[in-house]
């Protein structure tokens, strides 16, 4: 893996917290600034993959996890300037079941990246979207990541899942370690982002007060319909901002989210 490369996983134990929307729009923001992005879709729902089309009969992440003999280059689909994706698999749940008894089940993705670094070193960012929970696929992502970003939304279940993810990551650090030295293969930094924040609601104000006490909170993203609609429209905020009328209508939000994404990228780079 390249020295000047960030591998970041967007993960959450709870579903519906906006992981895919954040992954998608952050990657598009990075690409629009001239840096190359490789998306890796480890969510069985494949929503990130579908943002860029449906790659029927193409190799998928399942081929990596199952060690299938496919041309490594065929896994990477270039979808637009500076953006490529390794498509997700709707059979990912079945794949994880097949891997359940394999001793190398958490290192499949790590091994593939090491063996194919000539294909992946060109990317400044590898951004990984994951399925809700802390499954085998997500653990594969954690082992190769510099950075794990967990969105938290204004609900009691979402906030409590923050501690759940932290605990599970700690357990993985102990489980996935070198048998000789005892050093963990997991050295990712866990960060949190308050997402879908509505400042006029008690639940959002409570969440903000809680997150402000946590030094690992890196960003706050307000709840805006235009942000949520990027998935439905299959157009990123970068795309939508090209329409002057749309940009002027939501200028304050565009400026805020650009600052947030810039700060997030800077925090990631500071880890290297």
What is the average pLDDT score of the chain? 91
Distance of alpha carbon 191 from alpha carbon 217, whole angstroms:
6
Q: Which of 136-150, 192-206, 247-261 has the lowest mean pLDDT?
A: 192-206
Is residue 214's pLDDT more than 60? yes
User: What is the layout of strands, in order, in the sheet containing 189-197?
Assistant: 77-80, 83-86, 37-42, 125-130, 6-10, 147-152, 189-197, 217-222
Domains (ranges, CATH) in the chain? 6-269 (3.40.50.300)
Is residue 1's pLDDT more than 60? no
Distance of alpha carbon 95 from alpha carbon 89, whole angstroms:
9
Cβ atoms of residues 19 and 248 within 8 Å: no
Cβ atoms of residues 158 and 21 within 8 Å: no
Is residue 3's pLDDT more than 60? no
pLDDT at 195: 83
pLDDT at 215: 87
Confidence of residue 122 (pLDDT cuts 50, 70, 90): very high
- Give the chain's radius of gyration (CA, Å): 18
Cβ atoms of residues 29 and 37 within 8 Å: no
Q: By three-state DSSP, how is residue 216 classified?
A: coil
Write the pLDDT tens digit of every residue in 4-49: 899 999 999 888 888 999 999 999 999 999 999 999 999 999 999 9
Write down how long the chain is.
Answer: 272
Write the pLDDT tens digit of every residue in 168-205: 999 999 999 888 998 999 999 999 998 888 878 888 88
In this prediction the pTM is 0.94
Select from 51, 52, 54, 70 the least CA-distant residue to 62.
70
């Amino acid at each position: 893996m390249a020295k000047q490369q960030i591998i970041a996983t967007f993960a959450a134990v709870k579903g519906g917290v906006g992981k895919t929307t954040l992954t998608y729009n952050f990657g598009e923001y990075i690409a629009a600034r001239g840096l190359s992005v490789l998306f890796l879709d480890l969510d069985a729902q494949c929503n990130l993959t579908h943002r860029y089309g449906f790659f029927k009969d193409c190799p998928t992440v399942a081929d990596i996890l199952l060690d299938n003999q496919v041309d490594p280059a065929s896994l990477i689909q270039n979808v637009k300037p500076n953006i490529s994706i390794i498509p997700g698999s709707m059979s990912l749940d079945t794949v994880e079941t097949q891997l359940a008894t394999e001793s190398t089940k958490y290192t499949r993705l790590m091994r593939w990246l090491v063996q194919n670094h000539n294909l992946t070193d060109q990317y400044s960012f590898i951004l990984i979207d994951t399925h809700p929970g802390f499954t085998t696929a997500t653990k594969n992502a954690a082992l190769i990541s510099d950075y794990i970003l967990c969105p938290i939304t204004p609900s009691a279940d979402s906030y409590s899942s923050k501690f759940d993810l932290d605990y599970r990551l700690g357990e993985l650090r102990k489980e996935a370690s070198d048998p000789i030295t005892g050093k963990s293969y997991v050295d990712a930094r866990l960060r949190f982002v308050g997402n879908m924040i509505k400042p006029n609601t008690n639940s959002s104000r409570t969440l903000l007060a809680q997150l402000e006490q946590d030094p690992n909170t890196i960003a706050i993203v307000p709840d805006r319909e235009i942000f949520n609609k990027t998935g439905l429209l299959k157009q990123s905020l970068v795309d939508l901002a090209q329409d002057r009328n749309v940009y002027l209508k939501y200028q304050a939000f565009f400026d805020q989210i650009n600052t947030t994404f810039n700060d997030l990228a800077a925090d990631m780079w500071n880890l290297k």
